[in-house]
Amino acid sequence: MDLRARLEAFRAADLYTVITEAFCAGRPGLEVLDACLDAGVRLVQFREKDWSDRALFEGAKAFRARTAAAGALLIVDDRVDIALAVGADGVHLGQEDLPARVAREMAPDLLIGVSTHSLEEARDAADQGAGYINIGPLFATRTKEVPTGALGLDAIRRIRSEVPLPTTCMGGIKLEHIPEIMAAGAERIAVVTAVTAAPDPRAAAADLRQAILAARS
Amino acid sequence: MDLRARLEAFRAADLYTVITEAFCAGRPGLEVLDACLDAGVRLVQFREKDWSDRALFEGAKAFRARTAAAGALLIVDDRVDIALAVGADGVHLGQEDLPARVAREMAPDLLIGVSTHSLEEARDAADQGAGYINIGPLFATRTKEVPTGALGLDAIRRIRSEVPLPTTCMGGIKLEHIPEIMAAGAERIAVVTAVTAAPDPRAAAADLRQAILAARS
């Protein structure tokens, strides 16, 4: 897929599941991935922080095979080289990762997402040519420490009104929050543990998707 | 530079200094880099393991500016993306990093080095299209734990006679070892602390170079 097709597929997505094996309640990450794909999730991030590069490559390759078979987008966290090596659709960059501009020059066909925690960071990501931004954390979360603290729901509309990029919203989101987050202007929702640590990840993903779609209609 | 020119410059090098700031005895890595370049070192590796990607990018960029000005090759440890992002000459891969074959496909102009600890690993690196191999550790070293243990000097000729790639030898090498290592078939020597932790890195690099050149002639 070229970047245009990837952006289109991103815009069509509702739920973005971020999978880190350490948050999968003892299950293999691939098992949770399969549950997500089975629930109709079409946007997945492979996020592992402490693995060797070889393990990242092998893990991302396995994610790529399954997401490709399901027609889902695969975004790799942090690593442009791993994303390119496995033919992922994109890379997600934090503020301490490679600058989006540099990633874009290296990999013009990758969809580049950037974690943003303020209007300023969101504008900067757009200036650097990001393909999408994540807005967060909306609430307190245990998967990531962010020095800026929780943003709250007002940030969604403020950022979206000023920054012309597709967005995800993330950070401590649970099923019961979906209506208020969507009402506050969110387009789609990204989660980690709400799916990966759920007793039934397939059901959790399906419920989240249904809540997002219901709020959109 | 294209790969051919990079390989030629690699073959012309005598001493390969690997710089990790934590082993620079409290000095900035860039200060030690300048000392190396001033001593005539023309092959340098930027190796940092625990830095954020942003810090790796900024650090490698500063190394690139100085090595380019001095006409020295810059190799980045582990990270193909950082190497590409800063325009480095190559990337050095361990056995737990991206496979050399994958790195080569991603970055055909990069000189790809591989750490090898046995004849089997050296052959495999050649099969995968590596540009050079490192043979080591020759002796016990404090900068890297290798499960295979020290190789000893016999490994140099054994590997070189079977694997047609330029080599470096590494691992616990001090100035007084140079004559025996070169006599055992080494082409060039890679060091970390013998230069970076020396009281006078410039003098240490100059002495090591002189010993390598003397053993060659």
Lookup: tokens for A178? 């979906």
Q: Is A85 in contact with B106 (Cβ distance < 8 A)?
A: yes
Provide the pLDDT confidence category of residue B3 given band limits of 50, 70 and 90: very high
pLDDT at B217: 85
Residue with tokens 């932790």: B197
Cα–Cα dist A181/A20, whole Å: 24
8 Å CB contact of B81 and A54? no
A143 pLDDT more than 90: no
Nearest to B53 among A57, A78, A106 (CB): A78
Mean per-residue pLDDT for A198-214? 98
Q: Which of B85, B99, B106 sits opposite A84 (nearest CB)?
A: B106
Mark yes or no for CB contact B97/A52 under 8 Å. yes
Task: Give the model confidence (pLDDT) of A24-78 as tens digits.
Answer: 999 999 999 999 999 999 999 999 999 999 999 999 999 999 999 999 999 999 9
- Cα(B199)–Cα(B196) distance, integer angstroms: 9
Tell me the three state secondary structure of residue A61: helix
Write out the DSSP string of B108-155: TTSEEEEEESSHHHHHHHHHTT-SEEEE--SS--SS---TT----THH
Chain B residue set in contact with A, beta carbons under 8 Å: 52-55, 57, 78-82, 84-85, 95-99, 102-103, 105-106
Q: What is the DSSP letter of B23?
A: G
- Are B177 and B186 a contacting pair, CB within 8 Å? no
Spatial distance between the Cα atoms of B10 and B14, rounded to a whole number of angstroms = 9
* Sign of the dihedral defined by the CA atoms of residues A118, A120, A122, A128, in that order: negative
Measured between CA atoms, the residue of chain B closest to residue A50 is B50
Are the Cβ atoms of B81 and A85 closer than 8 angstroms? no
Report the distance separating Cα B172 and Cα A108, nearest Å. 42
> What chain A residue is nearest to B87 in terms of C-alpha separation?
A106
The confidence score (pLDDT) of residue A149 equals 78
Under 8 Å CB pairs connecting chains A and B tally to 58
Number of CB atoms found within 10 A of residue B173's CB: 23
pLDDT for the residue B95 = 96
Structural contact between residues B36 and B195, judged by C-beta atoms closer than 8 angstroms: yes
pLDDT at A144 over 90: no
Nearest CA in chain B to A99: B54
Band (A147; pLDDT cuts 50, 70, 90): low
Query: How high is the pLDDT of residue B185?
Result: 96
What is the amino acid identity at position B58? Answer: E
ipTM of the complex: 0.92
| In the predicted structure, residue B141 carries a pLDDT above the cut 90 | no
pLDDT of A157 > 70? The answer is yes
Q: What is the pLDDT of residues B26-83, one digit of tens each?
A: 999 999 999 999 999 999 999 999 999 999 999 999 999 999 999 999 999 999 999 9
Structure tokens at B10: 């690699």
What percent of chain B lies above the pLDDT cut of 70?
98
Q: What's the confidence (pLDDT) of residue A140?
A: 82
The two structure tokens encoding residue A207: 């419920």
Task: Calculate mean pLDDT across residues A202-206.
Answer: 98
Q: What is the mean pLDDT of residues A144-161?
A: 86
Q: What is the sign, positive or negative, of the torsion defined by CA atoms of B148, B153, B159, B165? A: positive
Q: How far is A92 from chain B (nearest CA, A)?
A: 13
Q: What percent of chain A has pLDDT over 70?
A: 98
Q: What's the predicted TM-score (pTM) here?
A: 0.94
Distance CA A29, CA A144 (A): 18
Q: Which residue from B minimizes the CA distance to A86?
A: B102
pLDDT tens profile A85-117: 999 999 999 999 999 999 999 999 999 999 999
**Predicted local confidence at residue B146, as pLDDT:** 67
Nearest CA-CA partner of A91 in A56, A47, A122: A47
